[in-house]
Amino acid sequence: MRRAFVMAALLVAIVSPAFADGAADVHAADQAAQKKDWGGAIHLYTRALDDRTLPSSDRANVYDKRGTAYYGNTDYARAVADYSAAIKLSPDCGHCFNNRGMARNQTGDYDGAVADFTEALKYEQHDPGLWQVYFNRGIAWYHKNDNDHAIADYDLAIKLNPRCSPCFHDRGMAWQDSGMAWQDKGDLAKANDDLNTADQLAH
């Protein structure tokens, strides 16, 4: 299984009397998620969503968080559904698109993943984690056997985060596949350089 990174947005909920119970559940769910108690987090986020007084903006955030809990619990279909619900309520949620793309990568929906990561890039240009979106889209391109696009995205990820060991590793794998397909010694040399760099950064 290729490495991927979740951009979880576990924000602290603001409590007000109108939706104190829902906010308390969200806070408790956040704590459970931090401990990787995914089942407990899912239960509490679900209970928070049952609070009909929860404003739509907060509801989008909770769907996103529960999606991340489902992702952590390897229930990728439900993660996709929750990220979709969050996007419906908050169409400009860049990290929601990124998270849904990651879940789609896990389900094998690489076309959908590429579309989601591309959409995420419209909203995440000033986010310090932007490199992760390029890295994640590179994974999707790689699984589509499109090494040229994969390498281009890994290039961008490495430019933004020169110490990203998985980025070098995955770009090396793409160069290796390309070199083997075309019997290109230059590509194979690049693959070897990248894989060596990845190993050095990992230690």
Q: What is the CATH number of the domain that holds 198?
A: 1.25.40
Residues 118 and 61 in one domain: yes
Per-residue pLDDT tens digits for 4-29: 444 443 333 333 333 457 889 999 99
Determine the angle formed by the axes of helices 94-107 and 56-72, rounding to 10 degrees: 30
Question: In the predicted model, is pLDDT for residue 2 greater than 70?
Answer: no
Range of weakest confidence among 56-70, 77-91, 125-139, 177-191: 177-191
Between CA 121 and CA 74 the distance in angstroms is 25
Share the mean pLDDT of the chain.
Answer: 88
What pLDDT, in 10s, does the model give residues 95-116? 999 999 999 999 999 999 999 9
Q: What is the pLDDT of residue 55?
A: 87
How many whole angstroms separate alpha carbon 144 and alpha carbon 153?
A: 14
Q: Domain containing 116: what range? A: 1-124
**Cβ contact 136:115 at 8 Å:** no
- The pLDDT value recorded for residue 54 is 87
* Pair 155, 111 in one domain: no
**Structural domain contains residue 141:** no
Instruction: Kindly state the percentage of the chain with pLDDT values over 70.
Output: 88
User: Considering its fold, how many domains does the chain have in total?
Assistant: 2
- Residue 67: pLDDT band (50, 70, 90) is very high
| Residues 8 and 98 both lie in one domain | yes
pLDDT at 192 over 90: no
